Amino acid sequence: MANIVLPGEFLGTEEEFAAGSGTRVEDGKIYAAVFGTMEVSRDKVVSVRARVQAPKPIDAGSIVYGRVEAIFEPVALIQLQAVEGGEARQVPPEGYSVLHASRVKQGYVDNVHDEVRIGDILKCSVEGIRKDGEIGLSTKAPGLGVVKAYCSHCRGPLALITGGTLKCGRCGSEERRKLSTEYSFVKQG
Ligand SMILES: [Zn+2]
């Protein structure tokens, strides 16, 4: 399973792993240095393969990753973090991208808040870019949706239990999201 990690995310200790590329070490703890996929080799080297490689502009059809910054029904405002196959610095830094309730999944969504929450990391496709620069996003396809989520009560890591239900490892609260098939368990630091 792909485990997508954010810069600064705790990956493990130096007792468990050797720190590889895309990581940094502080007080014996290994953290992700880049946005990407966590990998552990057979000889226990942990590294992060950056999701950002060749230059590529954002366009309709681009696959992007972003964090939910605010929700104003019926839309969620997303701060983009990376473009698949693109360079991080090419992501428009100012302004938000928009995920409308009607673009979250197949079928009717009453409140976008029922499917994504503030702080979640989403994998989205770009549906279009308006003349004013606003980027319209969609998470309808099965591979798209929430790839990382934190408990809305205590910000603890949410583990996937069954059929799209997430359970908080800290307070036991259960939540639901429109999950990507790439949903990653958040390791506790
Ligand atoms: Zn919790």
Q: What is the mean pLDDT of residues 121-149?
A: 91
**Model pLDDT, residue 125:** 95
Same domain, 144 and 64: yes
**pLDDT at residue 88 tops 70:** no
How many A from CA of 87 to the centre of ligand 1?
A: 34
SS3 88: helix
Measured in Å, residue 5 CA sits from the centre of ligand 1 at 20
**CATH assignment of the domain containing 155:** 2.40.50.140
- Alpha-carbon distance of 160 to 92, in angstroms, equals 32
Residues 36 and 111 in one domain: no
Q: With bands split at pLDDT 50, 70 and 90, how would you rate the model's confidence at 117? A: very high
Looking at the structure, tell me whether residues 23 and 92 fall in a common domain. Answer: no
| 52/36: higher pLDDT | 36
> Ligand 1 mean position to 154 CA, how many Å?
4
Ligand 1 center–CA 174 separation, angstroms:
8
Please give the structure tokens belonging to residue 29. Answer: 């703890």
Please indicate, yes or no, whether residues 23 and 112 belong to a single structural domain of this protein.
Answer: no
The reply to whether 98 and 153 lie within a common domain is: yes
Residue predicted with more confidence, 2 or 17: 17
Residue bearing the bigger pLDDT, 53 or 108? 108
Quote the ligand 1 centre to 43 CA distance (angstroms). Answer: 34
Q: Give the domain CATH number at 9.
A: 2.40.50.100
pLDDT band at 2 (very low <50, low <70, confident <90, very high): low
Do residues 166 and 116 both lie within one domain? yes
Total length of the chain: 189
Residue 88: phi and psi, rounded to 5, are -55, -40
Q: Are residues 66 and 156 in the same domain?
A: yes
* Count of domains observed in the chain: 2
Q: Which of 50, 65, 81 is the last residue of a domain?
A: 50
The rounded Å distance from CA 150 to ligand 1 centre is 8
3 state SS of 103:
helix
Percentages (nearest 5) of helix, strand, coil residues in the chain: 5, 45, 50
Question: Do 117 and 34 lie in a common domain?
Answer: no
Dihedral class, residue 145 (left if φ above 0, else alpha if ψ from -120 to 50, else beta): left
Using pLDDT thresholds of 50, 70 and 90, give the confidence band for residue 104: very high
pLDDT at 189: 43
Query: How many angstroms is it from 176 CA to the middle of ligand 1?
Result: 13
Give 140 Cα–ligand 1 centroid separation in angstroms.
27
Give first-to-last CA distance, the chain, whole Å.
20
Among residues of the chain, what percentage have pLDDT more than 90? 53
64 and 151 within one domain: yes
According to the model, what pLDDT value does residue 137 have?
96
94 with 78, same domain: the answer is yes
Q: 91 CB contacts (<8 Å, ≥6 apart)?
A: 58, 64, 80, 81, 82, 83
- Please report which confidence band the pLDDT of residue 170 belongs to, taking 50, 70 and 90 as the band edges: very high
Residues 166 and 115 grouped into a single domain? yes
Asked if residues 21 and 47 have their Cβ atoms less than 8 Å apart, the reply is yes
Residue 49, helix vs strand vs coil:
strand
Contact 97, 122 (CB under 8 A): no
Average pLDDT of span 82-89: 64
Ligand 1 centroid from CA 185, angstroms: 14
Name the domain boundary from 35, 50, 65.
50
Q: Cα(128) to centroid of ligand 1, in Å? A: 35
| pLDDT at 4 (0 to 100) | 83
Distance (Å, whole) CA 6 – CA 101: 26
* Nearest-angstrom CA–CA distance, 70 and 66: 12
* Same domain, yes or no: 79 and 162: yes
User: Cα of 27 to ligand 1 centre, how many Å?
Assistant: 27
Domain that holds residue 159: 56-189
**What Rg value do the Cα atoms of the chain yield, rounded?**
17
